[in-house]
Structure formats: structure tokens, C-alpha cells
Structure 1
Amino acid sequence: MTTGGGSIEIIYRIIDEENVTHAVFLPYLLHDAMRAKENSITIPACLKCIITFVERVPSKLLDFAVKTFQYLIIMYGTSETGTACGNIISFDTHYDPSSAQMMKCFPGYEIKITGSNDRVVTRGKEGHIQIRSFNVMVGYYMNPEATKEVKSENGWIKTGDNGVMNDEGLIQITGRVKNIISKGTTKICPKAIEDILLNHPKVDEVAVIGVPDPRLFQDICACVVPKSETQPSSKELEEFIVKGIIDERLSPKYYIFMRSFPRQGTGKIDKNKLTEKAMDILGLH
């Protein structure tokens, strides 16, 4: 069943009434569940396993889910490819936060990581994720040009996501290609900055985006939803993030505080609309 946009309290009530043991929670529902626990809302005892489909689970949400439920299953795929890889995480067995999001390719699928020249990169190097399987799409309906852009003649689908493959062939998603920030000659993955800021006690949600810069092409903007009316100052966040990063070039130039973020139908943050909103606020059009 689907929730129809119901609150976490309603979802928990249905789970309890129907004795649900396994549930699919997209990241925004994991976030709501974490906040509910902080507010002492009881989690149904029957709920043992959470399944989530995501590019990358923020470390704070990952830690909450693994320590709250018996199992967390992370899976990755696209509409064009189906679910291609995944990982089962249990806090009771071998939970290692550093490797928890490394996923194994499912039978019947092939995954490769390529560079800008479309050639496979060396293991451990970040690149573009491509997937091939008998299960991938034939093509976009009545749109051969769009199909040609993402599907090669030998069946490889360009997912639009970046990732890394280790020596054992496990895959970790690092972010969307289109969300990568180009600051001068530096390519910056927003997720790394978001993970740090999410650990600030006054931050509820954060989305890091690239905004126009006349000299560097883009600079970093952190959009923040505070936990309460008492929001952190920009200086407070600057000092906090400097402690968590190695490279000072990853420190945001702008901080914008919002009550909520625009979202897609799936609940994911709509970064295109968010970027437009941020540019309006900053006067960068």
C-alpha cells in the first residue's frame, strides 16, 4: 500500500494495525521517523525492516535506521534500469558506517564506472555509473533521440549518477552528475557537505547547491531548515563545518534558512526549484 502523503503518525498507526514487518521508506520518511523518535513517538514493535531506494543515505539517517530497526536494506536503480544493486545492513552483526553503503550488483546486471571519455576508470576512482541488463528499458516511448542520449548501441544505460567501485566490485553512489558543483577547477559533491551540516544539533534538513559565480562559474550555497524557531547563525555553521572538512574550498559561501524545501512527487528535494529560489533570494539572476 502507499501512504498518500500521510504523516509518520498515521503511517505508524497503519503499520501497527496491519502488523507490517517490512516497509519501504524513502529518505524523507526516514527523516520523519528520526524526528518522531526524538519526540518520543512510539515505533511499532512489529516493524523489523526498512527498505529504502536512494542515491546515498545521509550518515545521520543511516545511523538512526540501523540502530532502530533490525535490518535496513539499501537498494539502487533507476526507472530505466530497474533495481541493480543493494546491501542488507544489520546493527547486530557487522555494521560498519564507512562501508555500509557499498552495494553488491544483483544477478543479471552489469555495472561499470566510466570517465568523461566513456572508458572504464580504475577501481576506487569516481566516475559515471552505467548499467546493462536484459531488464533495462527498450527505449523512451516515441522519443528515439532521448533514448540515444542515455542508451548505447550495446545496451549500456547512463544513469546520470556518479559512483565508485572498490576492488571487490562493490558500488557506492556518490551523487547525481547534474548536482556536482563546479567551483573553479574543483568538482564538489554536495553530499559530503550535507552530511557534515546534518550533524549540527540545530539543523533539521540541509541541501547544498551550486549557484552562479562570475569568477569561479559556481560557488557553494547551503540551504538549511532549522529544527526550531531558534536557527543557527551563518557564522555558527561556518565554524561547525570548518571542523568537519579537510579542504576549505568545500566551505559554503552562502547560507540560506528556509521553512521547507520544494519537493518532487517522490518526496525528494527538487534541487532545480530550490536553486531558482536560492538565486532569487541572493539576487543572482
Structure 2
Amino acid sequence: MLKRLCLVLNFEQYSKLPSFKSSSYLPNLFFFLVFFFISPFIFTSQINNCSNLVAQQPLRTLRTSNHLLQNHDTNDFDLPPYVHQKLSYAYGRSSKPFSIETLPQILEKRAAEDGSRVLFTLHHEEKTLTYAMLREQASRLASILHHKIGIAKGDMIGLWSLNTANWIIVKLAADFLGAVLVTINPYYKVDELAYLVQKSQCKILFMPGEESVQLSYNNFTEVVQDESFLQQVSQTKLGHFFLIDGVRKQSKYGKYPVHTFEDFPVSQSYPPIDFYQDPDDPSCLMFTSGTTGKPKGALLSSFSMLNDCDFASDRLGLHDDTVKICCPLPFFHSYAFTHGLYTSLVRNHPVVVTDYKFDVRSVSESIKKYECTVFLSTPTMVIDLMAYIGSKGISLDSLSTLCLGGAVLDPDIVRQIKTKIPSVTTVLNGYGSTELSPATTLCSWNDDPEKIKSTVGRPLPYVEVKIVDPKTTKIMPHHEKGEIWVRGFNVMQKYFDDEEKTRESITSGGWYQTGDIGIMDEAGYLKIAGRIKEMLIRGGENIYPQEVENALMSHPAIKEAYVFGIPDERVGEEICTWISLDQNEPEVAPKEVREFLKGKLTYFKIPKHVFIVKEFPKLSTIKVSKLEMKKQTIEMLKDSNKS
């Protein structure tokens, strides 16, 4: 009974229950007893919709099964967060409860009510997808995967492709089947792809075929037919390839059969999938780099991603029917995956996908042609867009809201945006990570402009954030730096097949240790002050130096290699490396080093600046100083620019 009452009163109210040590003992006792006994009757309708209270997620309170499918007005569900008076601890609040809907349930309802409504427009493919098309094609593919290929609920489905209409269909088919979608960076080469196939245990890999337009971005079909790749995956669970576009010229890649959509004619019917959809079941496996350079797979549920994007949309003020989202972001990233794909279905907002990958011309054309009102972007993309429309004299009058993520936002960029795109009234930045579904804090559409410029906002509803001393784990006072810890419904379930890394990242109390340094003020606004971990962020892409250093050290002429980031106005951080050469090997030039890395690393991981040195600055006789390398590099680049 007390647990039931706590759910209704909410976390903050529960913390303020009457104290029996106070002088007003009898009135307080009377108040408590009255609510204790009558709450079951007053709140019966709400209690019937409650989920179980999860110990590690204390703010996971009321859920309803159909609130997302009801017509809400434009009321702001967002409530001011609770913030501790002295310590850097806060949690978000909302008048809206959780949803326990799954995407197939929402899609079924939307298709029945308004099947002809266009939800996705693929500008580059000149395609549109309506609710009815999404339901029919996704459910059909799920049936094919299950009945003809043998993929079952809980199996891993790999998806290795750029942004296409069929990417969306495959994702929703996995949801209908109850399988786990493994999103894979489409620029991965042999070793990177082989590692993910092995680590994820995926049974089928969706990818572009021969003659696909996507082959101009990566040699997909050559990678999977490479002898090294086939050898590395020979002992894995991989059993099939499925081409999502292009043509099939071979029936097998190695020993693995190759399927296409044409193998399963529309005239042929298949029994429907009838698996129970639990919103807490794993839904997606997204890989994020680790400190060793090897990616770690964050296992996420539909519940976490769906509610994350719903609460974030409230924070953005996206309520009315005029919202149309422009998404140039890659689907395999958590940002686009959740706040592009999920948001479209959850909020019934049409999404325009601009191109296979980010192209500033396609973005400009899409916003102009389809009159997009919301732009999902990184700061780097916005900088490029402003430069492009400025040089071409283009106005984008339909845009009103920009939601930025993936990198720290320079306050000056906000001023530039509102000058060059005057119709934009709201520019919001947020903070999160793949492990956090991904949003954790976000500024609100009605926040003070100075807060929007200088912070990444406050915790989303039902998400706790605290700043702790990294050594003692004690909560820091307001305005003091410490590590950002997060607890709530949005925290990943675990790192897949990696119990050690999971224990290192998530405490026994359910707190995810981000490794980022932050500062919280007395109103709960968060500022990002740096990173404990060595991760670099270039144009929104996460890069770990160790992985690049390992690739460099595989060159026979390179003796030592150290990688670090230097500030860059456009991409945030540019990748730089200092290397020393083996005197017994032929010399190599910086250009040759970069060419060598192209066959081993995704393009954005390749250092822009390569310096060949004889020795490295050191803090002691055994430890090099990357900080000193960084300082010297910045000075050298300044001098070269002057000359």
C-alpha cells in the first residue's frame, strides 16, 4: 500500500512525507492515515495502469498503455526538475506517465487510422513511405525472416548500410519479429566488420548489393568476400546475407547464401508473426568505442528509446501537426535512430531523409522543397549549412527549431544561426550517449536564451543526474566539477556479452558512470567541462586514440605513435598524430601514412595532421605527455598559417 501511495505522490513528494518527530505530530499523522487508506479508491484508475517499481530505477513510475495514441493538446507536459538545495543532484519531472507501447503496436494503430499518411520521405531515393506501406512491408519481411530463413525472436539481425528506405523497413521488421537489430557503421572495413559480426552474434547481415549506388561510399561486396573477413567470421553465428538494394551476381559469399527481396514475390503469402512484444525486451544493439579501441555493444530496449524520444520531444515543444523533421544524420547512430526514426512514429511527425550520408546541398534542397520546420543536426553540419546557404543566397524560411547534439556547442554558433536563418526561434543542445538511449539532458524550448547558449539543459523526466568526485564518488556541491553519473529508464541494459565492462560502467545502484566531467548549477542545468576518458569527438563521431594508434603501429616503418585531438572551429576536434620511425625501415611521408590507414580505418578516424618526430615530450623518463604534444602542435599550426 505504501509503495502504491509513493507512486502517486511521486518521488519528490514521498521525500516530503510528514515527519513524526515534528511538533505537529497528530495533524500530520491524521493527514498520512487519510491518504494511506483512501488512495486505493481515489487513484484506482491510475494504479491499474502502473508497472512494477524497479529497484534500480526509482523514478520509473506510472505507465499507461495507450497515452501516445491519444490526441494531446499543446500543453507543456514538462515540469521543473527537482534539484538538491546544496548538492549537484537533480531529476526531471513530467505530468506525462511512461508508455509501454512498442513500435509495431503504434504502427498498427496509425496504419488503421490514417494509412495513407506519408511518414518518411527519402529525398535522395525519390521515395515515400506511408503508414500502410510500413506496416505491410515490415510485417511481411518479418514473416519471411522467420518462416523462410529461420530467424527467431531474440536473434541478432545485422544492418550494414547507409540511409535508405529499406533500412527503415528492416528496422521495423526486426521489431515485428522481436529480434534485436545490430546497427553497423556503413564505412567499416574488413577487420572492423568482422569484429562486430563476431561480437554481436548476428545470424544475418543486411547490406547493399552489386551495382548499388552505395558502393561509391564503401566497397561493401568486396569487404564481405575478402578471404580475411570470411575466415574471421567462419566460426560465428552468421548464416545469411540479404541484399537491400543493388543486384545479386553470386548466390553465395563464401559458404553463406545471398538473398534478395525478389526471392520472395509479393504474390506469395506467409503466416503472420504472433510473438508477444514486451517493451522491456532488448530491441537494438548499438556499438560504441571503448578505451581499448574495441567497440562495446550497448543493449537497449524499446521502452527506453521510445520514452526517451517522447520526453525529449516535449522538451523541444514539438506538439502540433505542422512539425516536419529534416534528418541528415546516419541511422546507425543513436541520435538519428531514436530521435529521427522513433520520434516519427511516436509523435506522428513526418521525417525527410536528405541523402545516403550528410550532403549540405541535399539538406538545403530538402528543407526548401518539403518546408521542414525542425532540423536534427550536429554543430558541424549547421556550420556547413550556414556557409552553403550564405554563398548561394538561399533562405530557409520554414525552419523554426534546431536540435543539436553530438558535440559541445559554441555559444557563438547560436548567434550566427539566428542571424543567417532568421525564422529559427529555437536552438537547443543536449547531452547523452549511446548507452543512455541517447538523451539525458536537454534545454527546453522556453528556457532562458543564456541557458540555451551556455548549457546542455536539465535532466529529462524520470532521469537522475548527479556530479560526483571521481575518486571518492561523493556528490559535489553546485558549480563544482565532477564526473557525470546517470540513473533512470534510459540507461542501457548492459554491454552485450561483456559482463566486466558492464560492471565497470554501471554501479550496483544502477548509476551509469559516463566518464565525462560536468558542472551543475542550483537550477539543475548541466555544463560539459571535459572528459575523463580519452575519447575524441570529431564532427559528432566518437574516436578513441588507442584504436588509431594500434592501426598506425601495424605499419612496419612506424616505431611509436600517439594520437590526440586539437581544437577545430568546424568539426570540434581534428585528429593529430605524432609518430617516430624505425631507422631500419624505408622512410615514409605523412601522405603515405594516411593512405596506409585508409584500408584499416573508417575515414573520420584518419588523422588530418601527421607529424614525424625523433622523440616525444615526456612527463617522466617513461611516460609521454600528450598535453605537451597538443600544445606544440597548436603552436606549429599557428606559425604555418602565418607563413
The aligned residue for residue 274 of structure 1 is none
**1:15 paired to 2:381:** no
Separation (CA, whole Å) in 2 of partners of 1:78 and 1:87: 16
Deviation at 1:101, TM superposition (A): 1.9
What secondary structure sits across from 1:96 in the alignment?
helix
Separation (CA, whole Å) in 1 of partners of 2:468 and 2:407: 17
Separation (CA, whole Å) in 1 of partners of 2:395 and 2:450: 24
The aligned residue for residue 155 of structure 1 is 510
The aligned residue for residue 104 of structure 1 is 458
1:85 to 441, 450, 454: 441
The aligned residue for residue 485 of structure 2 is 130
Q: 1:101 to 1:85 in 2, by over 3 A?
A: same
Q: 1:206 to 1:221 in 2, by over 3 A?
A: farther
Structure with the higher helix share, 1 or 2: 2
TM-score under structure 2 length normalisation: 0.30
Structure whose CA Rg is larger? 2
The aligned residue for residue 254 of structure 1 is 633
The aligned residue for residue 425 of structure 2 is 70
Separation (CA, whole Å) in 1 of partners of 2:531 and 2:356: 27
Unaligned runs of 5+ in 2: 1-351, 537-563, 579-615, 638-643
Separation (CA, whole Å) in 2 of partners of 1:141 and 1:130: 21
The aligned residue for residue 207 of structure 1 is 573
Deviation at 1:66, TM superposition (A): 4.1
What secondary structure sits across from 1:178 in the alignment?
coil
Q: 1:221 to 1:84 in 2, by over 3 A?
A: same
Q: 1:156 to 1:127 in 2, by over 3 A?
A: same
Number of matched pairs: 211
Letter in structure 2 aligned against 1:113? I
CA contact (8 A) 1:12 1:43 kept: no
CA contact (8 A) 1:55 1:175 kept: no
Separation (CA, whole Å) in 2 of partners of 1:147 and 1:168: 31
**1:45 paired to 2:397:** yes
Letter in structure 2 aligned against 1:207? E
Q: 1:176 to 1:215 in 2, by over 3 A?
A: closer
CA contact (8 A) 2:484 2:513 kept: yes
The aligned residue for residue 113 of structure 1 is 467
The aligned residue for residue 238 of structure 1 is none
Unaligned runs of 5+ in 1: 182-189, 199-203, 223-251, 258-285
Letter in structure 1 aligned against 2:573? A
1:7-54 CA-to-partner distances (Å, cap 9, x unmatched) read 212111012222211120122211212322442441421111111123
Letter in structure 1 aligned against 2:468? T
The aligned residue for residue 627 of structure 2 is 219
Letter in structure 2 aligned against 1:115? D
Separation (CA, whole Å) in 2 of partners of 1:138 and 1:98: 31
What secondary structure sits across from 1:39 in the alignment?
helix
Letter in structure 1 aligned against 2:467? I
The aligned residue for residue 263 of structure 1 is none
CA contact (8 A) 1:113 1:163 kept: yes
Deviation at 1:55, TM superposition (A): 4.3
- Give runs of aligned pairs for residues 228-247 of structure 1, distance below 5 A: none
CA contact (8 A) 1:49 1:72 kept: yes
CA contact (8 A) 1:179 1:209 kept: no
CA contact (8 A) 2:517 2:532 kept: yes
Separation (CA, whole Å) in 1 of partners of 2:385 and 2:392: 11
Deviation at 1:168, TM superposition (A): 1.6
What secondary structure sits across from 2:384 in the alignment?
helix
Looking at both structures, which has the greater relative contact order when contacts are Cα pairs under 8 Å and sequence separation is at least 6? Answer: 2
Deviation at 1:221, TM superposition (A): 5.3
Q: 1:155 to 1:113 in 2, by over 3 A?
A: same
CA contact (8 A) 2:380 2:571 kept: no
Percent of aligned positions with the same letter in both sequences? 18
Separation (CA, whole Å) in 2 of partners of 1:109 and 1:221: 39
CA contact (8 A) 2:467 2:483 kept: yes
CA contact (8 A) 2:411 2:454 kept: no
The aligned residue for residue 262 of structure 1 is none
The aligned residue for residue 388 of structure 2 is 36
RMSD: 3.2
Separation (CA, whole Å) in 1 of partners of 2:401 and 2:465: 27
CA contact (8 A) 1:209 1:221 kept: no
Separation (CA, whole Å) in 1 of partners of 2:386 and 2:367: 16
Structure with the higher strand share, 1 or 2: 1
